[in-house]
A and B are shown apart, each in its own frame.
Chain A
Amino acid sequence: MNRDERPLRLIPAWIWIALGAALSAQVAVRALTPPPSLSEADLPPAPSTAALRLASFGEPAAIARVAMLYLQAFDYGGTNSAPYRRLDYGRLVEWLQAILELDPRSDYPLFAAARVYAEIPDEARSRMALDFVYREFFANPQRRWPALAHAALLAKHRLHDLPLARRYAAAIQRNARSPDVPLWAKQMEVFILEDMNELEAARIMLGGLLESGSIHDAEEARYLRLKLEELERRLGKTAK
């Protein structure tokens, strides 16, 4: 690693000046350029699963998760009054579909569809996300039921579409029969029909998910608690 070097004083002054000026210019140019943001950009059409698989160079699980982070960057944060209002949900669902096909054992696409993209004040878009969750549920009901359970709650309390909520609940009841699935989920249709408000139902669901060990990830538990607090605040305001 060592090499013989001449002393710094032997470097001509004009080279010092040129180096300093070039460095300053570089920093100035970068400082004046706004950082890239995807928040208002159009979501590009989803690549095919085959193309994503080819681009992954044998790492489909890693590229699936990087693709989810990329997708999240579009209008992520929800700081605006109507999040995802510019997002093309047709393309979004195609992206989620491709990512799920790339790594079918990942829960990320369905979690994002049910907990992020369906929870928007735009009924048509919300229904597209919920429909995606419902369609994909049947490929692996024992693993994917939490997303559909949340979809049933959204259908009942946000969309006020009880038949849709019952359809989702009945699908869980009929297909998710593993011993790991909590009792309230196995009796999802009754749970949906019970006369309780969204907050009570969400509390029972989160408590049940934590108790059943369905949530393994600390970030997921934190995110769900934040969403519950947000719901408590929102419903508190409505009550006042």
Chain B
Amino acid sequence: MPALTLARLVLVEARRSGLVWLGALVVAAGLGLGAFLGQLAITESRLLQAAVVAALLRVGAVFLLAAQVVTSVQREIDDRRLELMLALPLSRATQYLGRLLGFVAVGVVFAAAFSLPLLLWAVPAAVLAWALSLACELALVAAVALFFAMTLTQLVTALSSTAALYLLARSIGAMQAIASGPLADDSALHALARRAVDGVALLLPALDQATRTEWLLYGLPDARTYAAALGGMLVYLALIGAAGLFDFQRRAA
């Protein structure tokens, strides 16, 4: 399977580029922060440690994976290896999906490794649910980063675009709540702004509903809420994967 070979190459490159050490460093920083916070709290120390360390590990995993995807693709473009690959008798879909599969696999490994420290402060079932959600979130981030890296072909713009989409997806729920709050006025301008925010939300994944720290603190959500959070990410993964494939097919060598 050529796609699996490409995926394996992505994993090999990730190992050789020192990603393992960086991941270990983030986990160590999380554990250190947890120990420090435990000294400051006067109550709910376990919850405080779980909440803050989980938030740090989540954002750390997302940043490392996005940076790895964008720099890896950028290197391929700069070294003209991408042009070489495109000349091979392999379909473009195989090439794109093979890369994506490799980056998703890196995300799954990250999700497993970054969830383990949380067992110190949260029950295993909650950590498992959080880890599964993080794996889906990282798969989504890998797909978004790959899409921007291939489309924009500039490192800074691709990384910035990935970060912007991710942060917007995590805060769009709060923006919608603010826009439709009881203190909002009824002017036409405000109604337009509210519709604009709702319109943007239609094009974003609901990341504020995924990988929630609350699951670690207060127990799992009901199955329907959990399935909706994971399902929403998988739908967006399919969308961004299809958009990436579309753009890759149009790409001139």
Question: Using a CB–CB distance below 8 Å, which chain A residues touch chain B?
Answer: 1, 50, 53-54, 56-62, 64-66, 68-69, 72, 103, 105-108, 111-112, 115-116, 216-220, 223
B 143-182 binary contact with A (CB < 8 Å = 1; else 0): 0000000000000000000000001001101110110010
B8 contacts the other chain (CB 8 A): no
Report whether B42 and A61 are in contact in the complex, using a CB–CB cutoff of 8 Å: no
> A115–B44 Cα gap in the complex (Å)?
14
Cα–Cα distance between A111 and B44 once the two chains are bound (Å): 10
Are B45 and A220 in contact, with the CB atoms below 8 A?
A: yes
| Docked CA distance A178–B173 (Å) | 34
A sample of 18 inter-chain contacts (CB < 8 A) reads: A1-B16, A54-B178, A57-B167, A57-B171, A58-B208, A59-B51, A69-B41, A103-B214, A106-B44, A108-B43, A108-B44, A111-B42, A116-B42, A217-B44, A217-B45, A217-B47, A219-B38, A223-B42
Report A-chain residues with C-beta under 8 Å of the C-beta of B42. Answer: 72, 111-112, 115-116, 219-220, 223
CA distance A217 to B175 in the complex (A): 35
Tell me the number of A-to-B contacts counted with CB atoms below 8 Å.
95
Instruction: Provide the residues of chain B in CB contact with A219, threshold 8 Å.
Output: 38, 41-43, 45
How many B residues have CB within 8 A of the partner chain?
36
Q: How far is the CB of B89 from chain A (nearest CB, A)?
A: 33
Given that A217-B45, A220-B43 are known contacts, is A58 also in contact with B38, CB under 8 Å in the complex?
A: no
A226 → B minimal CB distance (Å): 10
Q: In terms of DSSP, what is the predominant structure of the interface of chain B?
A: helix
Interface: B4 (CB within 8 A): no
Kindly state the separation between the CA atoms of A66 and B40 in the bound complex, as whole angstroms. 11
* Cβ–Cβ contact A50 & B181, under 8 A: yes
Contact mask for chain B residues 230-241; partner A; CB cutoff 8 A; 1 contact, 0 none: 000000000000
When distances are taken between beta carbons in the complex, the residues of chain B under 8 Å from A116 are 42
B55, A62: Cβ atoms under 8 Å? yes
Add 8 more A-B contacts to A50-B178, A57-B170 (CB < 8 A).
A1-B21, A50-B181, A57-B171, A59-B213, A105-B217, A116-B42, A216-B46, A220-B43
Is there a chain A Cβ closer than 8 Å to B199's Cβ? Answer: no
Q: Which residue on B lies nearest to A111, using beta carbons?
A: B43
CB distance from B91 to the nearest CB of A (A): 33
The interface residues of chain A lying within 8 Å CB-to-CB of B175 are 54
Q: Does B112 contact A (CB under 8 A)?
A: no
- Is B128 interfacial (CB-CB < 8 Å)? no
Q: Do B171 and A65 have beta carbons less than 8 Å apart?
A: no
Within 8 A of A (CB), among B1-49: 16-18, 21, 37-38, 40-48
Per-position contact with A for B97-108: 1 when CB-CB < 8 Å, else 0?
000000000000
Contact B171 A66 (CB under 8 A): no
B207 proximal to A (CB < 8 A): yes
Q: Which residues of B contact A61 (CB under 8 A)?
A: 47, 51, 212-214, 217
Is B54 at the interface (CB under 8 A from chain A)? yes
Contacts of B37 in A (CB 8 A): 69
Are the C-beta atoms of B18 and A65 separated by less than 8 Å? no
Within 8 Å CB of B16, what residues of A?
A: 1
Least Cβ–Cβ distance between A99 and chain B, in angstroms: 12
In the bound complex, do residue B52 and residue A65 qualify as a contact, i.e. CB atoms below 8 Å apart? yes
Query: A223 vs B40: C-alpha distance in the bound complex, in angstroms?
Result: 11
A175 to B37, CA, bound (A): 34
Q: Give the residues in chain A near B52, CB-CB below 8 Å.
A: 62, 65-66
Across-interface contacts of B38 in A (CB, < 8 A)? 219
For residue A146, give the distance in angstroms from its CB to the closest CB of chain B.
10
The smallest beta-carbon distance between A231 and chain B, in angstroms, is 16
Are B40 and A72 neighbours in the complex by a CB distance under 8 Å?
yes
> Among A1, A53, A62, which residue has its beta carbon within 8 angstroms of that of B54?
A62
B171 lies within 8 A of A58 (CB):
yes
Q: Kindly report which residue of chain B lies nearest to residue A65, judged by CB atoms.
A: B48
CA distance A112 to B42 in the complex (A): 8
Closest to A223 in B: B42
CB < 8 Å neighbour of A223 from B43, B173, B213 = B43
